[in-house]
Amino acid sequence: MSAALVLEIKKHLQICKLLRQNFRDTKLCLKDLVQSGNFDSEFLAQVGVLRSEDLCITATTENTPTLILLGDYAASLALVNAIVKRPILPETLPPSPIGWRLLRISYGVRKGYSLSVAGNFEVIDGALARAAGRESVPVHDNLLMNKESGDTASNEAVLEISVDDELMVSGWRILVVPNQRTLTMEASSKIFSEGTLPVFVYNIAGRTLSEEDTTYLSQLRTVPTHVSILFLCPDGEPLSMGPDSPDVIPSQSAGEVHHQLLQLGYLAPPETPEGQPRPTGCDLVYGDQQLPAIDSFAKMTLHSRLLEVGSCLFSIHERILKMLTTFAFDVARDLCITPKRLIYVREKETSLFEDLNGVANMKQAEIENIIQETVASIKEGLLDEVENFSPSYSLSAELVEGAVPGGPQSPKDQQLCAEEIREVVLSKISSAVVNRLMSSLNCLRETVTGTLYRCLEGLELTEDKSHPSAANALKRIFDAAYQIQLNPATSSSIRHVFYERLRQFVQSLHWSSSTTVNKEWKREIASEMIRSLSASKLAKNILGQFKLKLQQAHEHFLTSVRQLEQKHAERLEKVEKVRLSVRRQYAPKMAKLALESASTKDLILHGQPKLGKEIGRGQYGVVFACDSWAGFSPCAIKSIVPPDDSHWYDLSLEYFYTRCVPKHPRIISFYGSVIDYGYNVHNEQAAVLFVMERMPRDLHSALKCGIPWITRLQIAIDVIEGIRFLHSQGLVHRDIKLKNVLLDKTYRAKLTDLGFCKPQALLSGSVVGTPIHMAPEIFTGQKYDHSVDIYAFGILLWFLCTGSVKLPTAFEPSMSKDMLRSSVRKGIRPERLPYFDEQCWNMMNACWSSEPYLRPLPGHIEPKLREIQHFYKQGCQIARTIKETEVVVGDSGGSPYCHLDFVNTVTNG
């Protein structure tokens, strides 16, 4: 085994340790999340580690990397000798009719042999004692099974060989697995999967695969572990001998092994048909270069397994963090929207209540009309109906004493009949009137209550489903007050009004014994009834009742809203606590684990970046040049040493979002990160190296050297474009300043240092940023939002307009941070300089407004700046033309200073 592979294995074991620890911490964090009881089962189901992920991670991190030598037993023994660079095993073997033993070679402080049965070391053969003194293991005593002896324990025992060679690293071992005649595939696959991270090498004796090989290999493909194998065929011959030996004519068996492996599905055809999976990871090596081939194959296999684990871990962290962020966003939205919804519900109901009261107060005449019109329109039809109406009981003169059939009915019968006619008239008129009233109020109901219902539904959605919903109760009251009371089917109030009127009428009638109840009589009674209905009295009565109901419903509504507010207040208090736990505990912890897993992944893929010369220094880290890393060149590396857990958490969370920000031309590209655990071994301090795109200069240093005005305007546009993009991603930069704007060769700007970048939902009100660019609300510890970036942009625009890095007069360099904060809070801002563009001045004033909501949105600023830039570009064009004309003509015909001033202003500022 080469020293390079030893190093590689040591590195593998170190990385495995990190990944193992990371996975344990991840599971602990998830356990905490579950035990907190704050998250529902749906959320927990989505953040949990999948079984496939668990298997993928543990199979690599918990198992020992093992070189498994399969195929020709003698060739495997020879390979072991070559690897440990000592003849510890015999290389020539007699033909074995019984079978060979499984060998396990690992590192030991002393060289030795032992036979073990089912994992227990147990010397079961006296020959071992003799063997220990020898250089190589005797064949007959130890390698050969002795089935005839019938001693199964002895036959199934594994020969353990420990080698005290520095090339055999501890934590790495070699297994020599005999063929199927000795060991069944089931037993073999158990060996491959139990505690091993296998690197398979298959020795092929001769020029082609034997029948035994083919059977073994086709069975091996069914083993569930994903098998990538290095095939060694020292005597085989490739089909093409290569350009070095053009004269050699290939033999008949040339390329045969390749063909056989292709057939078995181990090697990929040169062109795999579309859609078919390509067998990966297998390789075939001819000739005697077995050891270098094993070295690079082992390296590649271990590498890809580690990468798989790193990616798997990162995807777990990413998934959980995204879920936590979404959760925080939802909660933040809930906290913001619910009180507004409740206010809206109150306001809307009040306005509906007032509108309906207005209807009751002012629309008496209209309702009177409605009643009159309705009654007039149905009158004839109703009278016809009443004419043919048959009372429910039999109207017979015989029932009355002294009555004549077909003659007059008794007064009692007449009264009963009149009462039934009253019912008919009542139901027809009331339903017609109610229908008309309904349609006149419906319009109001639709416009006002539609939104109100939706809002109530929203409030109901956020309610605890296990309790009776207050929103539902509200809806019911609402229905009762404004809808159902006017419904003809249940319109008891209106029916009651009519009923009363008609009852009085029926009572006022005098019954005569000479009256006959016939069509004319019924019609007469009904039309008298209709005539007796006074529209104005009815309208007044209806409206009076309506107002009473309305008032009751309104009061009921207000009581319910108060209850709903109380419930929501309690719920939101709880929700806010959970949000705090997400922001302070779960999200930072998970972000740190994500930073570790992503950095480990980057380390496996691209190695440790090489720090070049220092190119800058900030409050939190040092920036170094780096020639190239991960195929990117040139790079800049920001090295940060977080002093404690809290800094680690902040850094990790913020860089997680940086990593997730999609590429954008106005944002510095982030290439990856690596954690340097060896940064300060004594203090156990690690440095986090963030690798990013390198730019020639920052805006601060460029302004010192002078930048033309048009270019400065372009920089302002670029910066606001970058801010606009970050805000569109739900992120707030929080540290917009000259040094965080980097310029490329053509002075196009990109935002860097997203170190403070956070999703708005996770903002805590922490005081971060650079004092002069910090909005007043940041100092006061209030909750702030994306508009702090606009404030900072306003200050940056001031510098861009001055064209220098000189501080505003109001903020002298000698000023303490506290003085500066107090001045900013008092509303003191940078001064206007005489040459400032009017529109730019207005814009910066709007940006640094003390009231966050008054600051313009980036989407408004960007087009405005483009307009200003267009204006100056045009001016510049004209000025240039004038200047050229002057040069040609020699006389401007006016004041030359005017032109010169303009040209200087527009071109240099």
Ligand X SMILES: Nc1ncnc2c1ncn2[C@@H]1O[C@H](COP(=O)(O)OP(=O)(O)OP(=O)(O)O)[C@@H](O)[C@H]1O
Binding residues for ATP: 638
Among 8, 368, 698, 718, binds ligand X (CB under 6 A): 698
Distance of CA 628 to the CA centre of its chain: 31
Phi, psi of 133 (to 5 degrees): -80, -15
Q: According to CB under 6 A, which residues from 607 to 626 bind ligand X? A: 615-621, 623
Q: Distance between CA 470 and CA 619 in Å, rounded?
A: 53
Helix or strand run (H / E) with residue 216: helix 211-220
Of these residues, 735, 744, 789, 837, which one is catalytic? 735
Question: In this complex, which beta carbon is closest to ligand X, that of residue 169 or of residue 738?
Answer: 738
Question: In this complex, which beta carbon is closest to ligand X, that of residue 471 or of residue 637?
Answer: 637
210-249 footprint of ligand X as x/- string (CB under 6 A): ----------------------------------------
704: amino acid identity, one letter: K
800: amino acid identity, one letter: L
Helix or strand run (H / E) with residue 151: none
CB of 764 vs ligand X, minimal distance in Å:
19
Q: Which two tokens stand for residue 87?
A: 């003849």
Q: Distance between CA 628 and CA 704 in Å, rounded?
A: 29
Question: In this complex, which beta carbon is closest to ligand X, that of residue 353 or of residue 629?
Answer: 629
CB of 756 vs ligand X, minimal distance in Å:
8
CB of 747 vs ligand X, minimal distance in Å:
14
Can you say which residues are annotated as belonging to the binding site?
638
- Integer-rounded Cα Rg, in Å, for the chain is 45
CB of 640 vs ligand X, minimal distance in Å:
8
Regarding 703 and contact with ligand X (CB under 6 A), the answer is no
Question: In this complex, which beta carbon is closest to ligand X, that of residue 165 or of residue 753?
Answer: 753
Helices 290-362 & 470-482 angle (0-180, nearest 10):
30
Phi, psi of 674 (to 5 degrees): -140, 140
Among 61, 430, 493, 740, binds ligand X (CB under 6 A): 740
Q: Which of 242, 236, 291, 241 is nearest to 261 (CA)?
A: 236
676 as an active site residue: the answer is no
Regarding 303 and contact with ligand X (CB under 6 A), the answer is no
SS3 assignment, position 228:
coil
Regarding 753 and contact with ligand X (CB under 6 A), the answer is yes
Q: Do 207 and 284 form a contact (C-beta atoms < 8 A)?
A: no
Q: Which two tokens stand for residue 429?
A: 């008129």
Q: Do 281 and 305 form a contact (C-beta atoms < 8 A)?
A: no
CB of 769 vs ligand X, minimal distance in Å:
8
CB of 700 vs ligand X, minimal distance in Å:
6
CA angle 23, 762, 312 (to 5 degrees): 25
Regarding 754 and contact with ligand X (CB under 6 A), the answer is no
Instruction: Encode burial over 352-386: b for 16+ CB neighbours within 10 A, e otherwise.
Output: bbeebbebbeebeeebbebbbebbeebbeebbebb
Question: In this complex, which beta carbon is closest to ligand X, that of residue 112 or of residue 616?
Answer: 616
Among 742, 772, 796, 797, binds ligand X (CB under 6 A): 742
Among 258, 522, 583, 694, binds ligand X (CB under 6 A): 694
First to last CA, the chain: 69
Q: Do 657 and 731 form a contact (C-beta atoms < 8 A)?
A: yes
Q: Which of 695, 687, 816, 686 is nearest to 753 (CA)?
A: 695
Question: In this complex, which beta carbon is closest to ligand X, that of residue 276 or of residue 619?
Answer: 619
Q: Which of 774, 765, 763 is nearest to 818 (CA)?
A: 774
Regarding 695 and contact with ligand X (CB under 6 A), the answer is yes
Q: According to CB under 6 A, which residues from 636 to 675 bind ligand X? A: 636, 638, 668
Question: In this complex, which beta carbon is closest to ligand X, that of residue 770 or of residue 787?
Answer: 770
Write down the residue that tokens 């599971």 correspond to: 27
Question: In this complex, which beta carbon is closest to ligand X, that of residue 604 or of residue 691?
Answer: 691
Question: In this complex, which beta carbon is closest to ligand X, that of residue 458 or of residue 634?
Answer: 634
Burial of 124 (0-12, 13-18, 19+ CB in 10 A): middle
DSSP code for 248: P
Question: In this complex, which beta carbon is closest to ligand X, that of residue 193 or of residue 669?
Answer: 669
803-832 footprint of ligand X as x/- string (CB under 6 A): ------------------------------
Among 93-101, 649-657, 693-701, 827-835, which window interacts with ligand X (CB under 6 A)? 693-701
CB of 694 vs ligand X, minimal distance in Å:
4
| Cα 240 to Cα 119, 250, 586, distances in angstroms | 47, 7, 59
Q: Which of 769, 699, 777 is nearest to 734 (CA)?
A: 769
Q: Distance between CA 648 and CA 642 in Å, rounded?
A: 5
Q: Distance between CA 533 and CA 615 in Å, rounded?
A: 97
Instruction: Encode burial over 693-713: b for 16+ CB neighbours within 10 A, e otherwise.
Output: bbbebbbeebbeeebebbbbb
Regarding 752 and contact with ligand X (CB under 6 A), the answer is yes
Q: According to CB under 6 A, which residues from 755 to 774 bind ligand X? A: 770
Q: Which of 608, 602, 16, 83 is nearest to 302 (CA)?
A: 16
CB of 646 vs ligand X, minimal distance in Å:
17
Question: In this complex, which beta carbon is closest to ligand X, that of residue 16 or of residue 763?
Answer: 763
Among 8, 654, 735, 862, binds ligand X (CB under 6 A): 735
CB of 603 vs ligand X, minimal distance in Å:
20
Regarding 106 and contact with ligand X (CB under 6 A), the answer is no
Q: Do 811 and 772 form a contact (C-beta atoms < 8 A)?
A: yes
529: amino acid identity, one letter: M
SS3 assignment, position 593:
helix
Among 111, 348, 445, 739, binds ligand X (CB under 6 A): 739
DSSP code for 849: -
- How many residues belong to the site for ligand X (CB under 6 A)? 23
Show which residues are catalytic: 735
Interface ranges with ligand X (CB under 6 A): 615-621, 623, 636, 638, 668, 692-695, 698, 735, 739-740, 742, 752-753, 770
